[in-house]
Structure 1
Amino acid sequence: MLDLANRFVFDGHRIAWGTLGEGPPLVLVHGTPFSSQVWRRIAPWLARRHRVFFYDLLGYGQSDMPDADVSLGRQNVLFGALLAEWNISRPRVLAHDYGGATVLRAHFLDGIAYSDLTLVNPVAIAPQGSPFVRHVAQHEAAFAGLPAYAHHALVSAYIGNAVAQSLSDDVLSIYRSPWLTPAGQAAFYRQIAQMRQHYIEEAEARYAPPDFPVRIVWGEDDAWISLEQGQALADRIAGGKLIRAPRAGHLVQEDAPEAIVAAVLDGHLQD
């Protein structure tokens, strides 16, 4: 497990973060409904060549889960604040799902530059959101009041749908446990209810090939975001190149972590 021993205060809320290794900075950004533990099998390998930074998004994992704005509209601001706190500029960046949306917003809306960018099944092309997400967003209060056993089953099924190869209960528990406390249950439905299409559209309207290399890894069996959306993003910011990970779902970190390590290290060799 990754150790998030440090705390950074953002808008009065504590953000959990950690670091491994020495070398050029590489920042890892997770997505929803996960935590930085998605990188636990990947970060140690990348730390052999980099100083790797990882953190839990506001409202996720070990970070505070406030009854406040934890949407994509705040996550890119948090990302920029962390880069300033760490005193790093033009880092290498590896981001998944909503983490991908976060770093794309940080670049295209806030002007934050990277030395290179690796995206893994990012939320980046509208429309976003599964039927489950759309339904929960319309009935947040009802879901937040579910009995604990029903919430446990729902979260388990939702996370289990993110992979092509079944998760063990031990691994499932890593991602599920932050959401099972009373505060976590409310936070789980809160972050879904705050998903808004315009946060994606704001960045998407500005997509163009950036002045740094972009690699996009895509689990071919992603049940949440279509391969066609991945290719559409690659066409707009990565010269059309999409690195396909066979027999991998949305959570490529579990189904095919080697595909992510290879993509990042290939970029290092090209540098």
Structure 2
Amino acid sequence: MTTHSRTRPWHLHQYVQVTAGEVATGVFGDGPPVVLVHGTPASSYLWRNAVPTLARHHTVYVWDLLGFGASRLDRDLDPGATPSIAQQARTLAELVEHWGLETPALVGHDIGGGVVMRAHLLEGVPASRIALLDAAVLGPWNTPFTEHQQRYAEAYRTMPLHIFDDLVTARLRTAVHRPMSEEVAESYRAPWAGAEGQQRWIDQVCAVSFEDTREAVARLGEVSAPTLVVWGAEDQWLAPATGDRLAAAIPGAERVTIPGAGHFIAEDRPEETAKVLVDFFAAERARAEAGPAGATRVRRGEG
């Protein structure tokens, strides 16, 4: 893999060549490594206001999933490649190797949670600890809107651009509890704009399937890394009860709810999200340093 620089919005200046395309990446801060994996239909932009707090304690690695944000899926390199969870998990494994990380903390939001768990359990990506935020892991997790698009993909692909744009804009606004500003809404919408963006949107919608997380779900009982499950109390896409089920399926997992946050938890409550992660990582690090005799599990109640 090779890396080169390119100017683009939101600080991701590094591009890494992977098997199926070119991934936009960024590295911030100093300390134990943390890899942030966003979900759909977002990009690394989701993390922009949480990264400064995390970067005061950690080296934070962020990237745009293939086919999302500024990352490019290249079918000339891999004709069979799709922006599926399985493909993203293989890409995460490549990136972790490229960055030279031995046991990073892995954080996954939405389908990024599915990517993290598949990468860890099926691709062999090591993890010192895992945090799953409003995560699409346990099925069924497709929303009715996503299922409708999958069922009538060709209609959405050929829909007049201005109508499709209205749908995307309205959809993105339901991802948050606190209203987005026009500037923020435009930043989330921009990668999906125009004819190319419309096709990329439908490509990723059609590629996302619970089949890609089924194998990981079957092995959740094998997870030994300390795990934290975080959910926005006002998530309209994946109900908080899903987070309860996910935490119950992973041995020893902790469960936290953040009030006043929708599905895009790091957009609604970036400081609170970052603090929950920093506290979790610090507690686990202290426990590891203390050893078995001094270990005490810190349980966090619902927000």
TM over 0.5: yes
For the residues of structure 2 that align with 1:196 and 1:39, how far apart are their CA atoms? 24
1:61-113, Cα deviation, whole Å (9 max, x unpaired): 00114564110110100000000111111101222111111000111212222
> Helix, strand or coil: the match of 1:95?
strand
1:119-156, Cα deviation, whole Å (9 max, x unpaired): 11000111121111011011212211221211111111
Cα contact 1:209–1:239 (8 A) shared by 2: no
Residue of structure 2 in register with 1:230 after alignment: 243
Residue of structure 2 in register with 1:54 after alignment: 62
Residue of structure 2 in register with 1:257 after alignment: 270
Cα contact 1:223–1:249 (8 A) shared by 2: yes
TM-superposed CA distance for 1:182, in Å, is 2.1
How does 1:99-248 map onto structure 2 within 5 Å?
Answer: 99-208=112-221, 210-237=223-250, 239=252, 241-248=254-261
Residue of structure 1 in register with 2:6 after alignment: none
- 2:15 aligned with 1:7: yes
1:161-211, Cα deviation, whole Å (9 max, x unpaired): 111111111111111100003221100011101122211211111111622
Shift of the 74–25 alpha-carbon distance from structure 1 to 2, 3 Å rule, reads same
> Helix, strand or coil: the match of 2:35?
strand
For the residues of structure 1 that align with 2:31 and 2:141, how far apart are their CA atoms? 36
Cα contact 1:65–1:187 (8 A) shared by 2: no
CA RMSD of aligned residues (A): 1.5
Please give the TM-score of this superposition, normalised by the length of structure 1: 0.95
**Paired residues, number:** 271
- Structure 2 gap segments, 5+ residues each: 1-8, 76-80, 286-303
Shift of the 248–257 alpha-carbon distance from structure 1 to 2, 3 Å rule, reads same
Residue of structure 1 in register with 2:291 after alignment: none
TM-superposed CA distance for 1:240, in Å, is 5.5
Cα contact 1:215–1:263 (8 A) shared by 2: no
Letter in 2 for 1:186: Q
Shift of the 255–238 alpha-carbon distance from structure 1 to 2, 3 Å rule, reads farther
Residue of structure 2 in register with 1:29 after alignment: 37
Letter in 2 for 1:79: L
TM-superposed CA distance for 1:267, in Å, is 2.0
1:17-68, Cα deviation, whole Å (9 max, x unpaired): 1111122211111000000010100111111111111000000000114564
For the residues of structure 2 that align with 1:11 and 1:34, how far apart are their CA atoms? 22
For the residues of structure 1 that align with 2:104 and 2:254, how far apart are their CA atoms? 22
Q: Return the index of the structure with the highest Cα Rg.
A: 2
For the residues of structure 2 that align with 1:5 and 1:235, how far apart are their CA atoms? 39
Shift of the 238–154 alpha-carbon distance from structure 1 to 2, 3 Å rule, reads farther
Equivalent of 2:110 in 84, 90, 97? 97
Residue of structure 2 in register with 1:70 after alignment: 83
> Helix, strand or coil: the match of 1:103?
helix
